[in-house]
């Protein structure tokens, strides 16, 4: 097999090429031609695309903007939000140009494809409704933009091949920014016709103990008179078990292997094994696939809740949308890794993919980094939420979509639960109960090892109809006032907070007076970072903390959301220019809001947390009440303003907020220094922190989150940009316009300041600071060496930093 396209032997979590003579994986990444619009002949091989834009895949055509309030403008009442009167929504799907048709074309050569070989064309996701053509002939189509799919293209191949993909994104097809284009990877797999089927390996661990693990390996193949050898290797590459068999039933081998003294997978120790599967015929190796898996035991039991490897624990999880902020939906593994690293530092141990099928790379990282995963499938079933949503395809496609989800991802140890839907309108009525059972039965048939949930918001109705009772795990979205009743009426014996909080805040923005408020709006279209504002259907973090701490039958929570995302700018979804969410624990740039430290103070049990809010730059508020909150893992602390004690506060049960926050509500603002001294349980000083009033912005400061990147053309360096005064004190209210320049072996990719109202496009090398900060993304080239980022601003001393790009 020879190819003029670059060949990469890629390690999937479900398959890895281990020998060039058995199969090849060809990454179709570079030199795609793209154009947005309708081109009637673009599927033809001889179509002239020379004037089209040249792009790399993954690619999101809409993220480059511009932001426009007329894009997908809707006059609608959002039922999930309890709205009854339609209003104009201008930023619901991000106000970015994702709607319309797009064409991608790619030319590749394959020569000498042998008679005994076949070629698969695989897509990890295409937004949306892809129609796929090769050499002018239609290969196939798929409707759901979040699903993985593939076609056998062997019969369509020529020496020189032109692949064309047509995509259609309808208006009113999403409730958030869906992105647009070939936003996940596209590959060719060249292998023998007699071989292991795509997604054909299924590994389970039905018996797990400290001394021994029973590993069951089912392998689907195509061919006759085959022999299968499976070898299990530990993380160090040493063989720990092996089995060879010629017995298969209906083209499926089943092997049972024993692993002695197994290392069990968990968030604390994400140990991974490899199962190397080799197919032989008459002594000749035909195919070889390596499957990465983990050995772990999960249980959900009435009266006990969720246990992993025999230890009861509660999910400390967040929900994540699929966009990656300033780079949109275009998948980038280094950006995903950064998100998960931030969540791990916060103490999170679980992620829910909301409300769609996750990328394979995200699951790969969760396996490696130790993050449990709730893999969700749909936001709609047969009843619509939006005019052109998944309900258009549900009856025809739902089973094949679920089968692809399960078969593509079921070997990931991180997945501990499936979700068949989120807040589906089908929660009403008998038909919805039947649909819930139908989908749950598909999951059980294809993967009997994991339970199924649905994120339910109509909890009262699901208690009456039987919808919630039939689920393996009843998932409650909010509705904290119904937890007790649901626990009494549902038979499972436990409840999951499948979606919690929906508290809203803007990083570094504080509003006065400080008070609890639902759907509060301000003239600047921001939300207060005192973390006391929430949505009409939701609640504050502390309300969920109490349930998690006091109710053993509550098995954990998934907070809405870990990061801000494009679209759904509640409570300003009827206000322009709001165009992204306020729900995130971290903002759209990945910078932590104050709420990050509230969750960290509970969830991160390894490291101390001591955080003060608000900032202390309040010119014009001298003498006015300016409450100070401290989020800390310590139980008590003393606050000082310019050396004067404001008293000692200790966490207590007088209110839910007092139980989890230290609050000095009567502090009067005066410029200077705020200092907090935290005490351990014996009353000794354990930690100190202070913030100071800053002067005028003087100097730009650049902070590297990662000092090195890989010279692969994809890796991203994330650089935090801030300004300080002449004394080096951060300026928390700075809004200076900055300019960015990248030299050396890399390029400027994007910038983001986390401001949900900003209309500055992400890919231009200039942006204003928001609350004194922003993040610049620098992308590596394929050549190792130094990359230099310089940042300038009018009247400011410029900043410069060097990033190392390594092989």
Q: What residues are annotated to the active site?
A: 423, 499
Please tell me the distance from the alpha carbon of residue 646 to that of residue 638, in angstroms, as a whole number. Answer: 7
Considering only CA atoms, which of 318, 806, 778 is closest in space to residue 564? 318
- Give the position of tokens 């230890």: 311
Considering only CA atoms, which of 177, 169, 144, 180 is closest in space to residue 394? 144
DSSP E strand stretches across 561-661: 610-613, 628-632, 636-641, 644-650
348-350-356 Cα angle (round to 5): 130
Please tell me the distance from the alpha carbon of residue 394 to that of residue 143, in angstroms, as a whole number. Answer: 10
Q: Is the peptide bond before 58 cis (omega within 30 degrees of 0)?
A: yes
User: Length of the chain, please?
Assistant: 807
Considering only CA atoms, which of 484, 344, 345 is closest in space to residue 414? 344
**Please, how many CA atoms are within 13 Å of residue 575, restricted to the half-sphere of its CB?**
18
322 alpha-carbon distance from chain centroid: 5
Give 572's strand partners: none
- Asked if 201 and 217 count as a contact pair (C-beta separation under 8 A), the reply is yes
Please tell me the distance from the alpha carbon of residue 712 to that of residue 774, in angstroms, as a whole number. Answer: 25
First to last CA, the chain: 27
Residue 579 has which token pair? 């165009």
**Number of Cβ atoms within 10 Å of the Cβ of 149:** 21
Max Cα distance, the chain (Å): 88
**Number of Cβ atoms within 10 Å of the Cβ of 125:** 29
**Number of Cβ atoms within 10 Å of the Cβ of 625:** 13
Please tell me the distance from the alpha carbon of residue 789 to that of residue 800, in angstroms, as a whole number. Answer: 6
**Torsion of Cα atoms, 67 then 68 then 72 then 73, to 10°:** 130
- Give the position of tokens 């947390």: 609
Alpha-carbon distance values, 438 to 330, 403, 700 (Å): 33, 13, 58
């Amino acid at each position: 097999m020879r190819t003029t396209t670059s060949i990469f032997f890629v390690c999937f979590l479900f398959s890895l090429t281990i020998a060039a003579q058995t199969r090849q994986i060809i990454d179709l990444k570079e030199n795609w031609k793209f154009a947005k619009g309708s081109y009637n002949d673009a599927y033809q091989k001889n179509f002239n695309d020379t004037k089209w834009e040249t792009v790399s895949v993954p690619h999101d055509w809409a993220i480059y903007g511009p932001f426009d309030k007329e894009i997908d403008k809707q006059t609608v009442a959002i039922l999930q939000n309890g709205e009854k009167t339609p209003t104009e929504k201008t930023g619901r799907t991000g106000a970015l140009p994702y709607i319309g048709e797009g064409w991608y074309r790619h030319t590749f050569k394959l020569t000498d494809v042998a008679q005994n070989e076949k070629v698969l064309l695989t897509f990890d996701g295409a937004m949306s409704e892809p129609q796929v053509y090769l050499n002018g002939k239609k290969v196939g189509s798929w409707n759901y933009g979040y699903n993985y799919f593939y076609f056998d293209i062997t019969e369509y191949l020529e020496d020189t091949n032109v692949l064309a993909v047509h995509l259609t994104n309808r208006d009113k097809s999403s409730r958030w920014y869906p992105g647009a284009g070939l936003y996940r990877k596209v590959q060719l797999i060249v292998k023998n016709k007699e071989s292991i089927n795509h997604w054909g390996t299924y590994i389970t661990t039905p018996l797990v103990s400290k001394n021994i693990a029973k590993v069951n390996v089912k392998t689907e193949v195509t061919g006759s008179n085959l022999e299968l050898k499976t070898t299990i290797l530990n993380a160090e590459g040493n063989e720990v078990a092996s089995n060879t068999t010629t017995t298969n039933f209906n083209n499926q081998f089943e092997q049972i292997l024993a692993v002695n003294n197994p290392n069990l997978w968990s968030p604390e120790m994400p140990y991974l094994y490899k199962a190397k599967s080799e197919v032989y015929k008459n002594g000749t190796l035909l195919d070889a696939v390596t499957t990465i898996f983990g050995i772990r035991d999960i249980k959900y039991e009435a009266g006990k809740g969720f246990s992993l490897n025999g230890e009861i624990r509660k999910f400390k999880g967040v929900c994540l949308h699929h966009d990656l902020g300033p780079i949109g939906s275009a998948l980038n593994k280094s950006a995903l890794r950064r998100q998960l690293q931030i969540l791990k530092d916060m103490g999170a141990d679980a992620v829910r993919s909301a409300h769609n099928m996750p990328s394979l790379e995200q699951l790969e990282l969760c396996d490696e980094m130790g993050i449990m995963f709730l893999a969700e499938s749909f936001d709609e079933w047969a009843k619509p939420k939006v005019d052109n949503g998944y309900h258009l395809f549900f009856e025809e496609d739902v089973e094949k979509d679920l089968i692809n989800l399960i078969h593509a991802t079921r070997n990931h140890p991180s997945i501990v639960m499936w979700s068949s839907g989120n807040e589906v309108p089908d929660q009403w009525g008998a038909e919805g109960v039947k649909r819930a059972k139908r989908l749950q039965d598909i999951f059980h048939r294809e993967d009997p090892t994991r339970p199924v949930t649905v994120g339910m918001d109509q909890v009262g109705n699901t208690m009456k109809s039987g919808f919630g009772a039939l689920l393996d795990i009843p998932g409650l979205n909010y509705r904290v006032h119904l937890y007790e009743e649901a626990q009494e009426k549902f038979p499972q014996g436990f409840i999951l907070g499948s979606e919690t909080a929906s508290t809203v805040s803007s990083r570094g923005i504080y509003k006065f007076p400080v008070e609890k408020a639902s759907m509060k709006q301000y003239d600047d279209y921001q939300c207060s970072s005192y973390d006391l504002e929430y949505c009409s259907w939701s609640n504050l973090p502390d309300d969920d903390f109490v349930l998690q701490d006091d109710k053993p039958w509550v098995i954990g929570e998934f907070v809405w959301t870990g990061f801000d995302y494009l679209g759904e700018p509640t409570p300003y979804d009827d206000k322009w220019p709001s165009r992204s969410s306020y729900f995130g624990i971290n903002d759209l740039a990945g910078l932590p809001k104050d709420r990050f430290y509230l969750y960290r103070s509970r969830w991160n049990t390894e490291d101390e947390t001591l955080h003060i809010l608000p900032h202390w730059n309040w010119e014009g508020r001298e003498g006015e009440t300016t409450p100070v909150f401290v989020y800390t893992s310590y139980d008590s602390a003393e606050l000082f303003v310019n050396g004067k004690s404001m008293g000692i506060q200790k966490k207590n049960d007088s209110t839910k907020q007092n139980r989890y926050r230290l609050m000095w509500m009567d502090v009067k603002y005066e410029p200077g220094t705020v200092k907090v001294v935290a005490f351990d349980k014996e009353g000794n000083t354990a930690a100190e922190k202070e913030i100071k009033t800053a002067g005028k912005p003087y100097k730009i400061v650049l902070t590297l989150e990662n000092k090195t990147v890989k010279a692969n053309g994809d890796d991203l360096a994330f650089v935090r940009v801030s300004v300080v005064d002449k004394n080096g004190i951060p300026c928390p209210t700075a809004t200076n316009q900055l300019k960015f320049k990248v030299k050396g072996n890399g390029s400027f990719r994007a910038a983001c300041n986390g401001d949900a109202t900003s209309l500055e496009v992400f890919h231009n090398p200039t942006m204003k600071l928001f609350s004194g900060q922003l993040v610049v993304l620098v992308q590596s080239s394929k050549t190792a060496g130094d990359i230099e980022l310089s940042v300038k601003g009018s009247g400011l001393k410029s900043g410069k930093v060097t990033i190392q790009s390594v092989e």
